[in-house]
Amino acid sequence: MTTHPTPDRRRRLLRASRNQRGAVLVEAAMVFMILFTIVFGIVEFGLQFKDSLTVTSAVRAGVRSASAATRNSSYNIIAVNSVVAAQSALGGNEPQTLWIYKADPATGYAVGDSPAGSFTSCTYCEQYTWDTGTSTWTCINNTCDTSSGTPPYPAKSWPGMNSASAQYSCITAPGGYTPTAGTITTGTNSGPDSVGVYLKILHKNITGLFGANKVIQDHAVARLEPVALNQTCYG
């Protein structure tokens, strides 16, 4: 004999079923939010990592050019152009600051930067800011020779970097390197100087889950390359 639930029992069963469906919806919403955060976090991190690699590639390209062309008064322009070519992968993210500087070989940071590694000040450097209107680097803080040439303007004569007192392979220097002999003479500025390139960009997050923007920066340093002894020092 089949028995049927009483009306009260049917109501209780219906109420329990509705409560279970509500609990499932709440749990599904919580799981969805967690998965949503994880997925977009992965996407955001991947884009930031891509831009970080681009910045690293750009400073390395710039410093390779600078280390090979520091006898040229426009070596900074050569370095800037190398950075521009490499930074093209940044897309809508904005470059902020670019430095080409004489580096302390012990730290890799700019000579005169205080505190070291803050990239707030330098004794011998060219500093640039990104012009979004023209999509070019513009020299600032009177660090370039704006009396000649065109933007981004050639470098000024850096004492200790582009002068005969310390330039790499200048045989008249009190302390320098003679490529043909492979020797380094002693002196206050003995041995080759080091040049550095610093780049900072503003990465724009697409989701906003982890803030609107993130600053990404990097620098690279290289020792000046040997050049022919009959090539005149710049400065």
pLDDT attached to residue 33:
78
Could you tell me whether strands 183-184 and 194-204 are parallel, antiparallel, or unpaired per DSSP bridges?
A: unpaired
Mean pLDDT, residues 105-110 taken together: 86
Mean pLDDT, residues 59-74 taken together: 82
Give CA separation, 80 vs 8, 26, 76, 131, 154, in Å.
Answer: 82, 55, 6, 14, 11
Q: Does a structural domain hold residue 235?
A: no
pLDDT attached to residue 22:
60
Query: Which tokens sit at 224?
Result: 């000046």
Confidence class for position 190, pLDDT limits 50, 70, 90: very low
Alpha carbon 135 to chain centroid, angstroms = 17
Alpha helices in the chain (DSSP H): 7-68, 75-86
Mean pLDDT, residues 96-117 taken together: 88
pLDDT attached to residue 225:
72
Q: Does a structural domain hold residue 234?
A: no
Mean pLDDT, residues 198-208 taken together: 89
Residue 117 belongs to domain spanning: 7-223
Query: Which tokens sit at 191?
Result: 């041995």
Confidence class for position 166, pLDDT limits 50, 70, 90: very low
CB-based contacts of 188: which residues, under 8 Å, 6+ apart?
A: 166, 174, 175
Q: Does a structural domain hold residue 232?
A: no
Whole-structure pTM value: 0.72
| Range name among 62-76, 78-92, 136-150, 156-170 with the lowest pLDDT average | 156-170
Could you tell me whether strands 177-178 and 136-140 are parallel, antiparallel, or unpaired per DSSP bridges?
A: unpaired
Q: Does a structural domain hold residue 121?
A: yes
Q: Does a structural domain hold residue 57?
A: yes
Give the whole-angstrom CA distance, residue 204 versus residue 47. 9
Mean pLDDT, residues 175-202 taken together: 63
Mean pLDDT, residues 180-207 taken together: 70
Instruction: Between 53 and 70, name the one with better pLDDT.
Output: 53
φ, ψ for residue 218, nearest 5 deg: -160, 165
Query: Which tokens sit at 45?
Result: 């991190």
Task: Return the half-sphere exposure (C-beta side, CA atoms, 13 A cut-off) of residue 196.
Answer: 26
* Domain tally, the chain: 1
Q: Does a structural domain hold residue 230?
A: no
Q: Does a structural domain hold residue 1?
A: no
pLDDT attached to residue 152:
65
Q: Does a structural domain hold residue 231?
A: no
Percent of the chain exceeding pLDDT 90 equals 23
Confidence class for position 78, pLDDT limits 50, 70, 90: confident
Residue with tokens 């000040």: 121
* Amino acid in the structure at residue 31: V
